[in-house]
Structure 1
């Protein structure tokens, strides 16, 4: 998107930053971040011979395929999912008809705002993800099928009665993400992700003027992007070297 109201062919730029240096970078032609995760991690593995332990990422990378990929390759689940931030948003918490804000019974069944328990199993919705993994949602409804509920028109608009899906596998994986990112160490990792990654992109775009690519084609664009990333690393390394030399000189004077 070129800020003129007209969409143009574009590229999805991905970088991984550690200690201020870009340790992985690549270009994709996927509009969303979800489909870039596995190829990006594979590229890191090809160059280093290992997978990163805790690569923190925002909600665009959290999906069933990517979580299962992480488990397969020994990568901790520290990628946010779509509703991760909404759970703590006060304005979102006021939406009483959103199932994320509903209470649960001890057995794990949801309780609607009217106090009715949706514990009647109505079969599974089975589909496959883009990665070929099974996506199974267990469907539940209230035993009275919402008959006579005064909130009926506000609670749902489509269907004869309110039904909710429960994906046991995905909920367990998201619970692990909540656990990993909810502790103090996890919160620190999230802060570092914002500082380092967004900071590196800010330098490339604002300081280096890389707001659009001058080459055409994936091969040329990737070379241009990687050269800019290499230049940023050399600049950072030079700053580190100057800082270390200054510290050594101060040590000798003292």
Structure 2
């Protein structure tokens, strides 16, 4: 059982802790650990590559690409077309191919995050959709993180095949089903203990109970199958 409690606002910072614990338990890293979009980040993807883990963790906008309502947002750069060279084309048909420098920062994991900034050569002058396209700045600028886009493209490739879709289905069945049993069937909708240590103990006891419950059902099924086999 690999479960824990964290005082983080999101899932991103918990990924490496789970993978390290898996390695401590088994002596190896998992091959294809599927996770939802909360775990997809530059730090986690680079961590996966370092430890031989396939990129099958969704990123923030993974599901939006196929959402019809989201696709109607014509001013979101994810819905813009690209030239053969990879430059974005705005809804007015203008190409944002003018390089304007880099935005450089560090991730929480200490990795370098570089976004190449591009704009349209006319700086959006005379565009009838100017006020609708952007609200801040003198003209529209877009960032291009080459490394992150390449990593996300690999995620799209891995999860877009039939095997990847099967992994996503299994994740939904196993993970969401377990939480459903704990919350709906067992009534675990809030913690009754205080403090990180107490809350963690309460949660792990519930996880342990769930595993014993699942094993008991498996044992009953096996015994019933054995009885049927003897009768036949």
TM-score in terms of structure 2 length: 0.97
Question: Hey, what's the Cα distance between the residues in 2 that align with 1:135 and 1:113?
Answer: 28
How many residues are treated as equivalent by the alignment?
232
- Offset of residue 244 of structure 1: 1.0
1:14-62 CA-to-partner distances (Å, cap 9, x unmatched) read xxxxxxxxx3111111121111111121122112222111111111111
Aligned pairs for 1:92-107 within 5 A: 92-107=70-85
Partner-residue secondary structure (3-state), 2:138: coil
Deviations 1:53-77 (A, max 9, x none): 1111111111111111111111111
Runs of 4+ in 1 over 2 A off after TM superposition: none
Task: Indicate the RMSD between aligned Cα atoms, in angstroms.
Answer: 1.0
State the 1:217 CA deviation: 1.5
Quick one: distance in 1 between partners of 2:43 and 2:154?
A: 15
Residue 148 of structure 1: how far off its partner (Å): 1.2
- Once the two structures are superposed, residues 229-254 of structure 1 have per-residue CA deviations (whole angstroms, 9 ceiling, x without a partner) of 11111111111111111112212222
Once the two structures are superposed, residues 194-226 of structure 1 have per-residue CA deviations (whole angstroms, 9 ceiling, x without a partner) of 111111011111222222222222122211111
| Rounded Cα–Cα distance in structure 2 between residues aligned with 1:64 and 1:75 | 14
2: CA distance between counterparts of 1:175 and 1:127? 22
Q: What CA distance in whole angstroms lies between the structure 2 residues aligned with 1:214 and 1:164?
A: 47
C-alpha displacement of 1:108: 0.4
Deviation (angstroms), 1:155: 0.9
How far apart, in 2, do the equivalents of 1:92 and 1:212 lie? 34
Within 5 Å, which residues of 2 pair with 1:18-167?
23-167=1-145
Q: Which runs of 5+ in 2 are unaligned?
A: none
Distance in 2 between residues matched to 1:59 and 1:87, nearest whole Å: 13
How far, CA to CA, are the matches of 1:85 and 1:69 in structure 2? 23
Q: 1:231 and 1:156 mapped to 2: Cα distance? A: 53
Question: What are the superposed Cα offsets for residues 158-187 of structure 1, whole Å, 9 maximum, x if unpaired?
Answer: 111111100000000000110111111111
Q: In structure 2, what is the Cα distance between the partners aligned to 1:221 and 1:157?
A: 44
The 3-state SS of whatever aligns with 1:95 is: coil
206-215 or 110-119, which deviates more:
206-215
TM-score by length of 1: 0.89
Distance 1:207 1:250 in 2: 30
**Aligned equivalents of 2:96, 2:9: Cα separation in 1:** 37
Deviation, 1:85, is 0.6
Q: For 1:158 and 1:214, locate their aligned partners in 2 and report how far apart those are by CA, in whole Å.
A: 46
Larger helix proportion, structure 1 or 2?
Answer: 2
